[in-house]
Amino acid sequence: MRTGAAVVVEGDRIAQILPADQAEGIDARRIELTDKVLLPGLVNMHTHAGAGPVGRAVSEDYELPTGMPFYVPLSRLWRHAYRDELREQFRAVIEWDVLGMMRTGTTTILNHASTDIEGYLHIADRVGVRTFAGPTIPLDVTARLGQLSGGREDRKQTTSEEVQLAELEELERMFGEWDGAAGGRITMVLGPAAVHTDEFSVLAGVGVAAKRLDCLVTTHLCQAPSELAATQERFGTTPLRVLQRAELANERLIAAHGTYLPDGDRQLAADSGITIVHCASRKAKEAVISPSVSFQDSGISIALGTDGFNCDMVEELKFAAMLGKIAVAQSHRPTAAEVLDLATSRAASILRRPDLGVIKEGARADLIGVAVTDPSIAPVLDVVQSLVYYGNGRDVQFEMVDGRVLIQDGAFLDVDLDGVRARAEAALTSIWESAIDAGVIAEVLPSINRTRPFA
């Protein structure tokens, strides 16, 4: 850590890092970050913006079969939320979620969009966050989650091959419009939902398109035992081997979870260069710790993500460090510095953006300032250990992306937060009320009866 330094930002880049007294003569706007620590902005490598607020604090304590994602009982609730007629209204919920991520230190979001990618891209453009984004293929939430629900035939709907191929074609068209937009803050990615929900022709089509477009690909991989069983039944092999057949098992691939990756596929995961995104707090709700530290020991590339619900990447660092120690029964690893590296410079390298995730001359000015004076965190002898073990995202008081100040003194500068909150509340209330009227919630979660949780 360096003290008494000045970071000189010109345009969207860090131009110089100087001792503070040498910066006094520079003609520039000054932002004093007294009692704050300046860090590179955090990178959330897996989320579905908008999904979390719909179903936060609903099914976390639900009794589930081993390995079932805790939100699967909510699939019908999302189907309500993602209805076409609510599209405009729902954009406030997406924005609310994006602001939650930004407020807690995230400057780059990899959004595997589960609804309305265009709405999301307009929001990212406006609020100033950096994003890598693409919609899930198939987009239909019932088809995606029904496959994981284990046994209920009426939920095992699928999206036809024709529809999935049309979604891929539409996405390729969107690259022309959005890839590199907002001064390079927006990068498009391809996002097949998972091997067991996608037609093989679509996976192979994504493989071809990824090479042609030279883009990254994101997906879900081995997140539940039911996914492995369904893949075995359809393809006679494991999800990663299917991705290999589709020419997707390579450095472009950023795959969420990997929790149930068979041991026999570890070498392939390491040799192929894919990245597995560890979503520690999401999995903890299912009483599961993904083997991320042992994956690293096997030479597999790892990143960190929230997978929605929790939007706070600082909390995610804490979960990754603490649960990582429990998983390997060793108190000295992973260290706070190692998990922070995963969410900054390592993530940047996976995203093929060495200009992100570091504070150095020439890098993009994506920065956060963390307050370190609160009695709950001070004294701060080792900044990184203090942040990871004793801080949380609400300690982030300053945020800048591409040289633009977005948050100062803990408040957004260019966002009407109260207005977004009012619109998000209205949208969510109408979603919850109609879901209750339709019997969706009573059927899966009879204890939920509150529809105005913002009040």
| Residues 329-348 contacting Zn ion, CB under 5 A | none
Closest approach of Zn ion to the CB of residue 308, in Å: 7
From 307, 338, 395, 425, residue interacting with Zn ion (rule: CB under 5 A) = 307
Other Cβ atoms within 10 Å of 287 Cβ, number: 10
Closest approach of Zn ion to the CB of residue 257, in Å: 8
- Would you say 286 or 307 has its CB closer to Zn ion? 307
- Would you say 38 or 323 has its CB closer to Zn ion? 323
- Would you say 306 or 397 has its CB closer to Zn ion? 306
Number of residues that bind Zn ion (CB under 5 A): 2
Kindly state the tokens that stand for 239: 């999800």
Q: What are phi and psi of 110, to 5 degrees?
A: -95, 105
Closest approach of Zn ion to the CB of residue 271, in Å: 25
| Residues 238-297 contacting Zn ion, CB under 5 A | 256
Q: Tell me if residue 380 falls in helix, strand or coil.
A: coil
Alpha helices in 128-256, H assignment, sequence order: 141-146, 161-178, 200-213, 225-235, 239-245
How many alpha carbons fall within 13 Å on the CB side of residue 390?
16
The CA distance from 120 to 133, in Å, is 9
- Would you say 188 or 256 has its CB closer to Zn ion? 256
Closest approach of Zn ion to the CB of residue 32, in Å: 39
The CA distance from 223 to 260, in Å, is 6
- Would you say 58 or 396 has its CB closer to Zn ion? 58
Residue found by looking up tokens 């709950």 in the block: 376
- Would you say 155 or 325 has its CB closer to Zn ion? 155
Which span sits near Zn ion by CB under 5 A: 127-135, 190-198, 302-310, 405-413? 302-310
Which span sits near Zn ion by CB under 5 A: 69-77, 88-96, 305-313, 447-455? 305-313
DSSP code for 354: T
- Would you say 9 or 256 has its CB closer to Zn ion? 256
Closest approach of Zn ion to the CB of residue 279, in Å: 7
- Would you say 52 or 128 has its CB closer to Zn ion? 52
Judge contact between 276 and 255, C-beta under 8 A. yes
Closest approach of Zn ion to the CB of residue 115, in Å: 13
Sign of CA dihedral 149, 154, 155, 160: positive
- Give 416's contacts (C-beta < 8 A, 6+ positions apart): none
- Would you say 71 or 398 has its CB closer to Zn ion? 71
Which span sits near Zn ion by CB under 5 A: 66-74, 238-246, 299-307, 404-412? 299-307
Residue whose C-alpha is closest to residue 304's, from 365, 257, 249, 251: 257
Judge contact between 434 and 78, C-beta under 8 A. no
Closest approach of Zn ion to the CB of residue 430, in Å: 25
In what helix (H) or strand (E) does residue 428 lie, and over which residues does it extend? helix 417-437
Q: Tell me if residue 289 falls in helix, strand or coil.
A: coil
CA distances from 408 to 110, 217, 414 (A): 24, 34, 10
- For position 316 contacting Zn ion by CB under 5 A, the verdict is no
Residue found by looking up tokens 């908008």 in the block: 50
What ranges make up the beta strands (E) of 114-159?
130-135
Closest approach of Zn ion to the CB of residue 268, in Å: 22
Tell me the residue length of the chain: 455
Which span sits near Zn ion by CB under 5 A: 227-235, 247-255, 301-309, 333-341? 301-309
Q: Which residue is nearest to Zn ion (CB)?
A: 307
Closest approach of Zn ion to the CB of residue 307, in Å: 4
Contact residues: Zn ion, CB under 5 A: 256, 307
